[in-house]
Amino acid sequence: MFEILTGHKRDKYSWTQDLIAEDVEYLESLPLSITLADMGVCIVHAGVVPKKRRIEDNTEFDLTTLRLVTKDGTTAVAKGSKDKSNAVNWTEVYGGSLGKIVYGHDAKRGVQVKKDTVGLDSGCCYGGKLTAYEVWSGEIVSVDAEKVWCKKSG
C-alpha cells in the first residue's frame, strides 16, 4: 500500500497524491478483515488461505491480493507465479472453517455465490456494477456504476 500512497505505483493511483497525512493515517488504521462473529461472516478484500485456522493467520497479501492457492489449500500462490499447475482459486477449496467469507478483488469472474463464499466484485470501477450482500437475508443487490472510474489493464 505504501507504494501506491507515495505515488510509486501505476498511474491509475494518481488520485492518492491528493491525500493528506491524516487520510493516509486513517487508511492505514483500518482492519484488513471484519468478522461478524454472531452472523458467521468474515469480510475481506480478496480472500483467505483455506487451511489457515484463524483469520489472523492470513497475511496482508492473503487478505488483500490473494486469488490462487495450492490445490491442498495450505499455501497462497504468489501473484505472477509462472507455475500454476498446482494452483486453484481459493474458493474452490475453502470449506467454511472461518465462516462465510465475503470478498471482492475478482472483477473478471464477477459476482460469485457459493455455500461458504460470496464474491461481490462486479467491476464498478470499470463501469460495471456496485454490488452488495445483505447478510441477514443473503440477498445480492447491484446498481449500475455512475461512470468508468479507471480503465482495465492488460
Task: Output the pLDDT for position 121.
Answer: 97
Q: pLDDT band at residue 62, thresholds of 50, 70 and 90? A: very high
Task: Output the pLDDT for position 83.
Answer: 86
Q: Global pTM? A: 0.87
Q: pLDDT band at residue 150, thresholds of 50, 70 and 90? A: confident
> Quick one: the chain helix, strand, coil %, rounded to 5?
25, 25, 50
Cα(45)–Cα(103) distance, integer angstroms: 5
All structural domains of the chain, each given as residue ranges with its CATH number in brackets, are 1-30 (no CATH), 31-144 (3.60.21.10)
List, for residues 3-33, the tens digit of each pLDDT value. 555 545 556 678 788 999 999 999 999 999 9
